[in-house]
Amino acid sequence: MTSYSTLVELLCDRAQKTPDKRAYTFLADGETESGTLTYGELDRQARAIATHLSSRLSPGDRALLIYPYTAGLEFIAAFMGCLYAGVIAVTDNPPRNLDALRKLQERMTLSGSTAFLTTETLATQLQSQLPKSPETAAQLSQLFVVTTDTISASPDDWHQPELAAETLAFLQYTSGSTGTPKGVMVTHGNILYNERVIQQAFQHSTETLFVGWLPLFHDMGLIGNVLQPLYIGIHSVLMSPISLIQKPVLWLEAISRYRATTSGGPNFAYELLCQKTTPEQRASLDLKSWDVAFCGAEPIRVETLEQFTHLFEPQGFRREAFYPCYGMAEASLFISGGDKSDPPVIVSIDRAALERNQVEHAEQPEAKALMGCGHAWLEDQILIVDPDTRQRCATNQVGEVWVSGPGIGQGYWQQAEATEQTFRGTLADTGEGPFLRTGDFGFLQGQELFITGRLKDMMILWGRNHYPQHIEQTVEQCHPALRSNCGAAIAVDVEDQEQLVIVQEVERTALRQFDAQEVIEAICRAVAENHMSEVYGVALLKTGSIPKTTSGKVQRRMCRAKFLDNSLNTVAQWQMTPEQRGTIVDLMARSGATG
């Protein structure tokens, strides 16, 4: 493959050699083709947008990209147009409520964006909806608003700026699930290296065909479903994430219809297909072409893999196609993944040992099944490090995941202290570094990486370490009225001691005949039996109201803050009284858990 220094070189070459080859097809409603782009058309649109931007902006300026989920092709052209102008793209999602509008304004301020790219319709809508204040008015008055669906600049007037592998391509703002959003500085070189890793790990070729529904402003959708196909020079069929939520089977129907070989998403998407597809819908599918079903961005459940395989094997889905992987915005996207031809690696680890940060194999029912996320590729390196001593952990010890490689971002935009803490990790005994400190806990078995939880989300309850996602999984399964992937286990300080609070959404269909006391008792009993922990409080929320990031992750810190200031949208709430302390013993005795 030809070596490129920038994404601009890459697209220019594609447009010159294969101008009529279809690059992207978009299904606005998840079914019907609403538009297509060839490599030649994308190049010309990018040149026209870049020419228009260059009339007001200079290379290195920042531009905010906000596009409706149904305007995927417009977003791609705008992103490439920014790169063609040497302008640093700042990607964000279309805001859906007042909180999202405030976050949009915050990112505009944090990034120092002086331009705003969108469609004509959304531009009018956003300008009328942004919170009114003197600061907002002043900021908007200085903003260069570009509606890319109406510009008339000629692509022939484009002049390529000076670009290199070290040039910043875009700022990928983190979701803010663990604090204030931070803009990861991603260079052309970071992206191109990461694309090379993904191609090798997934064994992509010119015969590969993508189908994707992931949001394009997010790293997995942008670097995975948009730029990986561009890197290889192949076709990618894209759809809105709203289509997946409204009718999940549309994802698999697109894979079946287009004979896609690569497609994927977070664990919740596979669960959604298990829960929301009917036997009749499944019977019409043909999934034999699906070669790489990647899964990442959140804890990967063994149960999900087994259920999905069981339901869709009759349609040709193969268990070995399931491809667990691990990555994050700070590393461009991809950090680890397995060998494509091998089945997922699953180990059974003793739960009690895991809570002591030790890795001990065990048999059920004492065991916790964990799925491996593969290994590092090419020049990348993964270490497991004690976050306190900053020394490598023993092979049977859980520690923080540290990574290094050419795909690691340059740091956080204008946040020197946070950059130093996260991107400049060095080993205390050897001085090796710098490493990206991921903030994730995990361990290695051989070269295989296993993620066990977030370092900052760890809770100590009754003298034991607990990972919130393990408790959350127990809670959502304890009563049919509770929604999957819509709960948070958080810790609050009560008399200088951490206490467990469960924040959990209720299914909309369960609200008509809802027995809050029954549900709360089921939660307390399940946590006591499975985790030997006492629940201090429960907040049951209205459907769709739990704080989540733009990529669909529950924001535990936001849940905690809203619980403490009593601003959660609850249908019922309970908090333990002093007289109720110690009920865990009664619950465990009744269940036989103490014996």
Residue 551 has pLDDT above 90, yes or no: no
Please tell me the distance from the alpha carbon of residue 366 to that of residue 360, in angstroms, as a whole number.
Answer: 11
pLDDT > 80? residue 135: no
Looking at residues 211-235, what average pLDDT do you find?
Answer: 96
E-strand spans in 2-149? 22-27, 33-38, 62-66, 88-92, 115-118, 144-147
* pLDDT reading at 580 higher than 70: no
- Are the beta carbons of 372 and 405 closer than 8 angstroms? no
CA dihedral 69, 74, 79, 82 (to 10 degrees): -140
Residue 326 · residue 352 · CB < 8 Å: no
Provide the pLDDT confidence category of residue 55 given band limits of 50, 70 and 90: very high
Residue by residue, DSSP assigns 71-106 as -HHHHHHHHHHHHHHT-EEEEEPPP-SHHHHHHHHH
Report how far residue 455's alpha carbon sits from residue 441's, in angstroms, rounded to the nearest whole number: 6
Q: How far apart are the first and last CA of the chain?
A: 63
* C-alpha span between 403 and 330 (Å, rounded): 10
Establish how many alpha carbons lie within 13 A of residue 320's alpha carbon, considering only the half-sphere containing its beta carbon: 5
Report the SS3 class of residue 594.
coil
Judge whether residue 64 has pLDDT over 90: yes
The model's pLDDT over 422-447, given as tens digits with 9 standing for 90+, comes to: 999 999 999 999 999 999 999 999 99
The SS3 assignment for 336 reads strand
What per-residue confidence (pLDDT) applies to 462?
A: 67
Give the pLDDT band of residue 57 (cuts 50, 70, 90): very high
d(CA 382, CA 375): 8
For residues 465-469, give the mean pLDDT.
82
Q: How confident is the model at residue 277 (pLDDT cuts 50, 70, 90)?
A: very high
d(CA 380, CA 325): 14
* pLDDT for the residue numbered 529: 83
Indicate left, alpha or beta for 582 from its phi (over 0: left) and psi (-120 to 50: alpha). Answer: left
Residue-wise pLDDT for 140-155, tens only, equals 667 899 999 999 999 9
Q: Are strands 367-371 and 168-173 parallel, antiparallel or unpaired?
A: unpaired
pLDDT at 179: 53
Any bridge partners for residue 441, and if so which? 400, 453
Alpha helices in 377-494 (DSSP H): 416-423, 468-476
Mean pLDDT score, 203-212: 98
Contact indicator for 76, 216 with CB cutoff of 8 Å: yes
The Cα 107–Cα 72 span in angstroms is 21
Q: 150-179, pLDDT tens digit by residue?
A: 999 999 999 999 999 999 999 998 754 445
Write down the residue that tokens 């109201």 correspond to: 545
Residue with more model confidence, 414 or 456? 414
Contacts of 349 (CB under 8 A, 6+ apart): 359, 360, 361, 362, 367, 368, 369, 370
**Quick one: which of 272, 295, 286, 285 has its CA closest to 202?**
295
d(C-alpha 336, C-alpha 372), whole Å: 10
Q: In angstroms, what CA-CA distances link 509 with 121, 417, 505, 534?
A: 35, 47, 12, 29
Q: Which of 503, 330, 474 is closest to 401 using CA atoms? A: 330
Least confident of 276-290, 413-427, 573-587: 573-587
From residue 121, give the alpha-carbon distance in Å to each of 131, 135, 214, 242, 251.
Answer: 18, 24, 23, 19, 27
Please tell me the predicted confidence (pLDDT) of residue 496: 59
Looking at every residue in the chain, the average pLDDT score rounds to 90
The mean-pLDDT minimum among 121-125, 249-253, 444-448 falls in 121-125
Residue 582 has pLDDT above 60, yes or no: no
| pLDDT tens for each residue of 352-409 | 888 889 999 987 666 888 999 999 999 999 999 999 999 999 999 999 999 999 999 9
Q: Which residue has better confidence, 102 or 65? A: 65
pLDDT bracket for residue 218 (50, 70, 90): confident
Q: Provide the residue type at 283 as one letter.
A: A
- Among 90-104, 309-323, 348-362, 497-511, name the one with the lowest average pLDDT: 90-104
Whether 87 contacts 49, CB under 8 Å: no
CA-closest candidate to residue 427, choices 459, 462, 460, 402: 402
Q: Which domains does the chain have, with CATH numbers?
A: 7-246 (3.40.50.12780), 345-454 (2.30.38.10), 459-591 (3.30.300.30)
pLDDT at 594 over 60: no
Nearest 10 degrees: CA dihedral of 226, 227, 230, 235? Answer: -20
* pLDDT at 593 (0 to 100): 40
- H or E stretch including 346? strand 346-350
Identify the band that residue 459 occupies on the pLDDT scale cut at 50, 70 and 90. confident
By three-state DSSP, how is residue 577 classified? coil
Look at residue 122 and tell me whether its pLDDT is greater than 70: yes
Count of CB atoms within 10 A of residue 37's CB? 21
pLDDT above 90 coverage of the chain, percent: 72
Distances (CA, A) of 522 to 55, 199, 516, 527: 63, 46, 10, 9
Predicted pLDDT at 268: 84
Question: Encoding tokens for residue 330?
Answer: 């700070």
Vertex 27 angle, CA 26 and 28, to 5°: 105
Q: pLDDT tens across 315-354, in order?
A: 999 999 999 999 999 999 999 999 998 989 999 999 888 8
pLDDT given for residue 470 in this prediction: 85
Average pLDDT value for residue range 193-202: 98
